[in-house]
Amino acid sequence: MIDLTPESSPRQIAILGATGSIGASTLDVVARHPDRYSVFALTANADVERLAHLCQLHSPRYAVMADERAANRLRDLLKHESCPTEVLGGVHALCEVARAPEVHMVMAAIVGAVGLKPTLAAVQAGKKVLLANKEVLVMSGRLFMEAVASANACLLPIDSEHNAIFQALPANYRRDSAAAGIRRILLTASGGPFRNTPRAALETVTPEEACTHPVWSMGRKISVDSATMMNKGLEVIEAHWLFGVPASQIEVVVHPQSIIHSMVDYVDGSVIAQLGNPDMRVPIAHAMAWPGRISSGVSALDFFGIATLGFERPDVERFPCLTLAYQALETGGSAPVALNAANEEAVQAFLGRRLGFCRIGDVIAATLERAGQYETDSIESVLEADARAREIARAEIGKRGKA
């Protein structure tokens, strides 16, 4: 529920995925405004040492490990350090802190499908949800947006591109592109580390090379997604559900400098863009304070220091994952679920050196074909489609390997 009343006491925030790059940036913004925000809960999957350090720094009421054994280790560690934070474990506990009555806003930054249930729990509780987990909308876009409307939750996008679009849309926008006079959503992409790499050279790409992004500092999974441009494909699907714009009106534009974070092209010929230095604290601070503004700690954009702003069309032959994402969105139903599941499995196999970089797209394409398409009209059916697609993807990985 949107609350525009003045803040008389610090707003409580639960950060789902606190040990990742988004979690770190969120905590940095929180620390800059101790009079406005307070940490209620921090969660992680299995990084016990990192979460223990964050608990000592920020003193949350709760710390949650998705992995139960990791929760036991964290509990022992915090007890040894005399830290009063209460430790919980399991997906159920993630959902509990996300929907806790004391929580005003939830940063949903858990990577992958595992973030679906706790993010949905926050939405159903009518929280202000800062969405950094694009997989939630990829897997269950219609169901998720229906839950947002039903609970009157406040959903704000954290991906720099979607946050930019949000800022470039009319203040009263209601997911009706025709009524708002929108011609296109222009979703910018850096092009990743292999934007100019010859196709043949991609056959020998290593995980270390794929995780070295030219502009952004991100986690390993999202870095690989950027390298394959699947990240942009997932963002196309996310934009469709967030803003109610059909796939035919969402265009990807490669912009290597990552200064323009996305644009909205209107029917009168106007194009409204959001610009800023490439730092995730900008969209995080915007969403945390919305509809107001607060300092993010990011330096002002130096227009005179920007030599050029370049734009290119994406090379879909070099990056077939982008085309696969558009196809899955057009197909609908369980297809986006299968796309996301196959990608997560393929990326994990690549990072584990069990699959070649160029085979990631092959695994996804084969999984989409074998998984078929059917309606996903409940969260249970979404999770069933996810499990089926993962089984197929693992089999495809086993057949292809690094060849």
Q: Which CATH number belongs to the domain containing residue 104 in this structure?
A: 3.40.50.720
Is position 176 within any domain? Answer: no
For the cut 60, the answer to whether the pLDDT of residue 387 exceeds it is yes
Is position 179 within any domain? Answer: no
Range of the domain at 66: 11-157
For the cut 60, the answer to whether the pLDDT of residue 3 exceeds it is no
Is position 397 within any domain? Answer: no
pLDDT digits (tens, 9 = 90+) for 57-95: 999 999 999 999 999 999 999 998 899 999 999 999 999
Query: Crossing angle for the helix pair 335-351 and 220-228, nearest 10 degrees?
Result: 110
User: What pTM value is reported for the model?
Assistant: 0.91
Please tell me the predicted confidence (pLDDT) of residue 403.
54
Is position 41 within any domain? Answer: yes
Please tell me the predicted confidence (pLDDT) of residue 219.
78
Q: Which amino acid is at 77?
A: L
Is position 314 within any domain? Answer: no
Burial (0-12, 13-18, 19+ Cβ within 10 Å), 82 = exposed
Identify the helix (H) or strand (E) that includes residue 271. Answer: strand 271-275
Mean pLDDT of the chain: 93
Is position 113 within any domain? Answer: yes
Q: Which amino acid is at 32?
A: R
Is position 33 within any domain? Answer: yes
pLDDT digits (tens, 9 = 90+) for 304-361: 998 789 999 999 988 999 999 999 999 999 999 999 999 999 999 999 999 999 999 9
Is position 379 within any domain? Answer: no
pLDDT digits (tens, 9 = 90+) for 368-382: 999 989 999 999 999
* Domain count for the chain: 1
Q: How far apart are CA 150 and CA 144, in angstroms?
A: 10
Q: How far apart are CA 131 and CA 116, in angstroms?
A: 11
